[in-house]
Structure 1
Amino acid sequence: MKRGAETNETMAFKFHYLAYIIDELIKFKQRQSNAKKEKADDKKVDVIELFIRNLLKPGKDGYLEYMDAFIKESIREFPYRESTLFRQMVTSLTGKDPPSALSIINAAINGQKGFIDNVSVCSTCGEEKPAKKCSKCKAVQYCDRNCQRLHWHWHKKACQRLSQGVEPTEVACKPDAADISADIQNLLVN
């Protein structure tokens, strides 16, 4: 960021975000080891898996509150506040009815991708075009077995409904093309 005209804000933010994740993992590991000492528990715990489970754990309304707060805090701690990328992310987060912090950081890192709402993504990591599906419901997709294993804790609650053909509320809330064109026709007539 200090190279003058050759600065790469996106790369600087990527490195900041990765460093923030690693720093948070170190803090998480220290908290776990302190809790382990208090309990005198010798059980082996994978700190990274616990951290990922905390990130992916939905709140009461299905919203990923911990992940959203984590991402917002990482944006807040970005040291180059004069950068255009930082200003755009903050403006998006503080606007009226802001999108999720995950979508903002995804757009910042990967760039804007317009009109790609129907691209399948991994339910755990968000990677596009995953190779595997849940063997029971066939509705949820994953990159690999590890992503499926990490997401199973939350997916198992909805898997039975999905396998019976009941759509989740997220999918049911999405309007289809016919609804949108009918709304546009009503606007044009009125």
Structure 2
Amino acid sequence: MASRLDTLAQALQDTLGARLKSFKRALGELTVTLDPADLLPSMRQLRDHPALRFEQLIDLCGVDYLTYKDGAWEGKRFAVVYHLLSLTHNWRLRVRTFAENDDFPVVDSVVDVWPSANWFEREAFDLFGIVFTGHPDLRRILTDYGFIGNPFRKDFPLSGHVEMRYDPDLKRVVYQPVTIEPRENVPRVIREETYADMGGDLDAQRASNR
């Protein structure tokens, strides 16, 4: 007897066919990859086909693969990942699509398919700089309107590009180039070969303090 995951896998293959660019099964979950050109028609089928019925989008996020696998990643840099839920069949699916252009990542909006995608797409736009074509109100949602850059990109500096302060002369908040000097914080490492000696020194110190 086929498991529920087997049934879902077969339904996906029967419905989407060659549009499935990759199909991965791991840890009791299915992940499929679609070309951005096939995204909207495929998403509508995932929602409407009676064998699938993914009525709900429960999450959407951007991903930056710039440093993935220690820089050995050779695919496209930016992806959008969707987490879908079927209330009818009580199963879940992860869908991934990669933006074609690394310098200006663009993916079709799925707001018309699942209205819940609205703020999720705004978040991915704000934090990763991914543009969603057809979104009704694509603007920043977490950072301020004067913010420069996209803070979840792997090459975004920890100190940022600008900082905000109140100007008493202008009597308003202003932005200025960041004044924080970047520095690397190297954690202190305790080597195993000296750990025992350090423990003995600590014991002696405790004894002398009694």
TM-score (norm 1): 0.27
TM-score (norm 2): 0.25
Larger radius of gyration: 2
Please identify which structure carries the higher helix content: 1
Please identify which structure carries the higher strand content: 2
